[in-house]
Amino acid sequence: MISTESRPRLASKVRLRFDRKGERYMLLYPEKGLVLNPTAAAIVRLCTGEHTVGAIVERLVEEYPTQTREALEREVLEFLSAMADRGLVHGDV
């Protein structure tokens, strides 16, 4: 369960890679790849286990000043929860 206090980190089976062909980031894990949009890539790069979801939202607020904090928080929580369900992110508090 991902909350604003969680400190998400990428699962050990997952690697982040820049895709030169598509000029975007991809997550790679066994037999699969997931193309990330720029916001998702920014979130994933902060999933090191050090930052809380709250801190990640703060960071995004600075990067994307046109979006409200509430909208960003909702987006981050939804994205990370979906990632956790797929076993790609662990949400240890």
Burial state string for 36-52 with b = 16 or more CB within 10 A and e = fewer than 16: beebbbbbbebbeeebb
SS3 at position 76: helix
**Minimum distance, C-beta of residue 60 to another protein, in the bound complex (Å):** 24
Q: What does the per-residue mask of binding to another protein show for 55-84, with x meaning CB under 8 A?
A: -----------------------------x
**Minimum distance, C-beta of residue 28 to another protein, in the bound complex (Å):** 4
> In the complex with another protein, which residue's Cβ is closer, 17 or 69?
17
**Minimum distance, C-beta of residue 15 to another protein, in the bound complex (Å):** 6
93 binds another protein (CB under 8 A): no
- For the four alpha carbons of 86, 12, 45 and 58, in that order, the dihedral sign comes to positive
Which residue bears the tokens 């998400």? 8
